[in-house]
A and B are shown apart, each in its own frame.
Chain A
Amino acid sequence: MNIDNTISQMRKGLLEFCILGIIKSEKEAYPSDILERLKTANLVVLEGTIYPLLTRLKNAEILDYQWVESLSGPPRKYYTLTKNGHKFYNNLKSTWADISTSVETLTQ
């Protein structure tokens, strides 16, 4: 068993949940902002891993995006939660609440 591997598996599963959480709290979010928020929260990821995730969530109609003009460069993609996405996120959130309570009790 490799500890790095286990840790990265843990993080990976939670990454999707965290990204949706960030988008929900910001109403709409640009990928680089999401990366910034993850970094400030000390959730270190390889930057490239969030793009396939965002695209898959978009194709699953959990996320949607629109192009927004930017002052400092070309237009940017801003991601928002769809109606489905809100449901999906709430579902994940309550599951997480349950799991974290269980884990907390079991690993004391």
Chain B
Amino acid sequence: MQKIIQINIAGRLIPIEADAYDALRTYLLTIDTQFANEEGKDDIIEDIESRIAELFSMKLTNPNTCIDRQDVQRIITTLGAAHELDNENEAGRQKRMPVTYTHSDYKRKTQRDKIFRDTGNKYIGGVCSGLSHYLNLDTTWVRLLFALLVIFAGSGVVIYLIAWAVIPEGTPAQLAAAKNSKPQSVSEFADRVAKDLDELGKKAENMTKELTDWFKKKREK
């Protein structure tokens, strides 16, 4: 069962399920961030919103239906992820995501790496602020916890350094998405954390392996 929200998008009234609405809002937010420094940002967003509204109303020809998460996912696939839309700025910036016509890059970035370091809000490496977006906690609490670990257990320093190495730095769009993706239920959240920790654990394992290999080679010489 889902709650239905009525939204007005580009002048059209659209009934949409609550979680689909959240997904749509996040998508529009990432576009907003992508074009933040663009003169015609409002025009671009207006055009994209009216296309979304058009696609939605094509979907809603049948009465008593509404937009669900799948529909939102479909329009994101049709329109493209925010970073794929900006083909002009690409040449100027280094190592930008290539605009490809497949979605594998987008999926890899958004589905696997859910924890990011927030280097826009950092004391050292942005680990605590990044974790706080992920855990949906105030940054102060996470920092306090780390401080306590450093003082009493001493392991805080090691944990921090590992986290710094393992957690990727998030782009503004990814951070915006991370801040907005609120988990649905406690069990879902636990699943998510377990899965993400597993990924990071594997990454740490690989790093350790590479390091030991490197030391071995050094010693052999």
Contacts and interface: CB of A to CB of B under 8 A. Distances in A.
Contact of A32 (B40, B51, B84): B51
Nearest to A51: B47
B172 interface: no
Contacts of B86: 52
A33 B98 CA distance: 26
A55 interface: yes
B50 interface: yes
B38 interface: yes
A77 B45 CA distance: 13
A2 B85 CA distance: 20
Contacts of B80: 46-49
A86 B13 CA distance: 38
B47 A46 contact: no
B47 A31 contact: yes
Contacts of A45: 101
Interface of A: 2, 4-5, 8, 11-12, 31-32, 44-49, 51-56, 58-59, 73-77
Interface of B: 10-12, 31, 35, 38-40, 43-44, 47-48, 50-51, 53-54, 57, 78-80, 84-88, 98-102
